[in-house]
A and B are shown apart, each in its own frame.
Chain A
Amino acid sequence: MINLVHNEMMKLVGKRRFLIISAIIVVLLSLFTYAQARQSESIRERLGTDDWRTGLQQRIVDWQNRLSSAGQWREQLQIQIEQSQYYLDHDINPSEPGAPSFIRGFVENSAELFLPLMVMIIAVDIVSSERSVGTIKLLLTRPVSRFRILLSKYIALVLSVSLVLFIFGLLSYVIAAVMFGGKGWSAPVLTGFAVRGGELDLSGVRLVSQWQFILQQFGLAWFISLVVGTLSFMLSILMRSSAAGMGTMLACLISGAILSNMVSSWESAKYLFMVNLGLMDYLSGSAPPIEGMTLGFSLTVLAAWMAGALAVSFGVFIRKDIY
């Protein structure tokens, strides 16, 4: 089995997949760190001070001014204001300058779309490329059962997801450390904000170190990526062309991002996997897309979708006639 997984990893490396992903991450990171540096510079210029309290206060005022014209975002904004106020009241800087804070923000923003997209690059053609090149005929005429062949591919996918997350974490730390300095791992972060009935519930709020918070983030990002990877893996078996699989998966992810903002009144939508991908929001404490969704609920829904995708993948792959 280890040999088979090694084979799969060799093919992924041969296809230069990890190199491409690393390159994309580096380019994106450079853009974001630069943008971030410019932004904090302009804020400093505007306020004429380095003190974060003044900055946060200013932002709260900005948000409050926008409240009246916010429309459907009103609730979200309200919660954001209350959260920031809480940080201010407890004299905790929500974004201690340094690489860890940058990573925290970056992971939060990329976990839902960017990281799954990177994983998709690997997952979506892990089987369909063998079919389009024709090597599947050699692969399936070896004295190895189809189950083991597919299992080795899936294990390779799980390893790849972990590797992509690792590359992502490492690169963002290195690049951000160059721009902002590498300190701030133990800075305090507040977690446990919850939203009930449109109101911010502060009863569960507790203080954790930034590194703990980032570790949790990476755990959830890993899970989201794995779910998207597993679904892409299934499409890779069902569809002959990698492009079609990629398109379908992208449509799902994007529709998820759009749906999350409009389904608050359609309750059964909470069983769709794409509405549940916003696991990061539970950590930071923004309102879930549908009232009553919790981290546990979303994890369960995603796990169920993953199990279903795996069952379909193996069921189809083992029976399929290869023409």
Chain B
Amino acid sequence: MSDITLAVKGLRKTIGRRTIIKDLSFELKRGEVFGFLGPNGAGKTTTIRMLVGLIKPTSGSIHICGLDITKHFTRAMRHLGCIVENPELYPYLSGMDNLRHFAVMLSGIGQKRIDEVVRLVGMQERIGDKVSTYSLGMRQRLGIAQALLGRPDVLILDEPTNGLDPSGIREMRAFIRTLAEEEGLTVLVSSHLLHEIQLMCDRVAIMSKGEIVRVDTVQALLASEERLVWKLQPLDAGKEALGQLTRILGEEDERLITAYSAGEAGEWNRRLVEEGIAVLEMNRKLPALEDLFLELTGGESID
């Protein structure tokens, strides 16, 4: 089997005359955590719902482990585990009955596997209680247990840290990393928390207005946008001198911003000093994904 577990090609969804998803294409590899990032209304949820078969694409194809989900829906779904939005389970059944209910719908999943996932998410003590008595965090964990029941190759989680407390978020992050690194799962997460994605994902797709603006590894995205922030005195002379050396990208609080270049930064500094300009501060700045995001989506609001 190839290393590509989820392949999306030319995915498009039109409702009426409005095209809400425009030609998405991306591929996910085994053992990778992939992040989906975008402001409200960018089409993250619609895309995820198409991936899991809840919405039929207008055109384009989705392959899970090589199986087209429109042609071989049931076979493709055997490789997929998911939580779409909140993990909604039957509140009037116990956690165990919920898991049994979903296990029945997968072939060859017995009580042994159920006990295994319950242990995996640490729910042994409360599993016999009704779901209506669970906290949001426990529901989230039960939701993950449910998604893992069928030993999926691809796990799709929409907002997995929603409603968790800080320690729960850290736990969840570690858990997702473990799944990818040790079990070799492909995990696709969407989140509105940018630093979440930054901490958890290997690669990120940034979506805006139904399109993927950019797909890259988190490191590459951040590195390409590394900045050098200068504080020079006197400012005007410094600005002119620096402008001859490299392009000035911006000015903020009497500080000048240029691109960072490991090879040339030292040279720039020497030349400025030679021209009698005092370099008071010289900071290399790794941008947060947030800045990058705002830049790429043209300042659309993030929730």
Q: How far is the CA of A321 from the CA of B78 in the complex (A)?
A: 20
Asked if A138 CB lies within 8 Å of chain B CBs, one says: yes
User: Do the beta carbons of B84 and A137 come within 8 Å of each other?
Assistant: yes
A118 to chain B, nearest CB (A): 20
Q: How far is the CA of A143 from the CA of B53 in the complex (A)?
A: 10
A-B Cβ contacts below 8 A, count = 81
Selected contact of A145 from candidates B56, B74, B106, CB within 8 Å: B74
Q: How far is the CA of A145 from the CA of B73 in the complex (A)?
A: 7
Which residue of chain A has the shortest Cβ distance to B101 in the bound complex? Answer: A7
Selected contact of B105 from candidates A7, A15, A319, A323, CB within 8 Å: A7
User: Do the beta carbons of A141 and B77 come within 8 Å of each other?
Assistant: yes
Selected contact of A4 from candidates B54, B74, B86, B105, CB within 8 Å: B105
Asked if B146 CB lies within 8 Å of chain A CBs, one says: yes
Q: How far is the CA of A135 from the CA of B104 in the complex (A)?
A: 15
Which of under 10, 10 to 19, 20 to 34, or 35 or more describes the interface residues of B?
Answer: 20 to 34
Asked if B4 CB lies within 8 Å of chain A CBs, one says: no
Q: How many residues of A contact B (CB 8 A)?
A: 25
Asked if B49 CB lies within 8 Å of chain A CBs, one says: yes
User: Do the beta carbons of B53 and A11 come within 8 Å of each other?
Assistant: no
Tell me which residues across on chain B come within 8 A of A10, comparing CB atoms: 93, 97, 101
Interface residues of B in 73-92 (CB under 8 A from A): 73-78, 80, 82, 84-86, 88-92
User: Do the beta carbons of B106 and A134 come within 8 Å of each other?
Assistant: no
User: Do the beta carbons of A141 and B104 come within 8 Å of each other?
Assistant: no
Which residue of chain B has the shortest Cβ distance to A142 in the bound complex? Answer: B105
**Residue picked from A3, A15, A319, A321, most chain B C-beta under 10 Å:** A321
User: Do the beta carbons of B104 and A6 come within 8 Å of each other?
Assistant: yes
User: Do the beta carbons of B93 and A137 come within 8 Å of each other?
Assistant: no
Selected contact of A138 from candidates B56, B74, B91, B146, CB within 8 Å: B146
User: Do the beta carbons of B88 and A138 come within 8 Å of each other?
Assistant: yes
Q: How far is the CA of A322 from the CA of B46 in the complex (A)?
A: 10
Q: How far is the CA of A115 from the CA of B53 in the complex (A)?
A: 38
Asked if A144 CB lies within 8 Å of chain B CBs, one says: yes
User: Do the beta carbons of B55 and A141 come within 8 Å of each other?
Assistant: no
A121 to chain B, nearest CB (A): 15
Tell me which residues across on chain A come within 8 A of B145, comparing CB atoms: none
Asked if A140 CB lies within 8 Å of chain B CBs, one says: yes
Asked if A14 CB lies within 8 Å of chain B CBs, one says: yes
B131 to chain A, nearest CB (A): 10
User: Do the beta carbons of A138 and B102 come within 8 Å of each other?
Assistant: yes
Tell me which residues across on chain A come within 8 A of B89, comparing CB atoms: 135, 138
A14-B54 contact given A144-B74, A322-B49, CB 8 Å threshold:
no
Asked if A27 CB lies within 8 Å of chain B CBs, one says: no
Asked if A31 CB lies within 8 Å of chain B CBs, one says: no
Tell me which residues across on chain A come within 8 A of B301, comparing CB atoms: none
B52 to chain A, nearest CB (A): 5
Asked if B107 CB lies within 8 Å of chain A CBs, one says: yes
Which residue of chain A has the shortest Cβ distance to B94 in the bound complex? Answer: A14
A127 to chain B, nearest CB (A): 14
A140-B93 contact given A7-B104, A134-B88, A145-B74, CB 8 Å threshold:
no
User: Do the beta carbons of A143 and B106 come within 8 Å of each other?
Assistant: yes
The contact sample of 18 A-B pairs, CB cut-off 8 A, is A3-B105, A4-B104, A6-B104, A7-B105, A11-B101, A15-B92, A133-B88, A133-B90, A135-B88, A138-B84, A142-B102, A142-B105, A143-B74, A143-B105, A144-B105, A321-B54, A322-B49, A323-B49
> Which B residues are closer than 8 A to A by beta carbons?
46, 49, 52-56, 73-78, 80, 82, 84-86, 88-93, 97, 101-102, 104-107, 146, 150
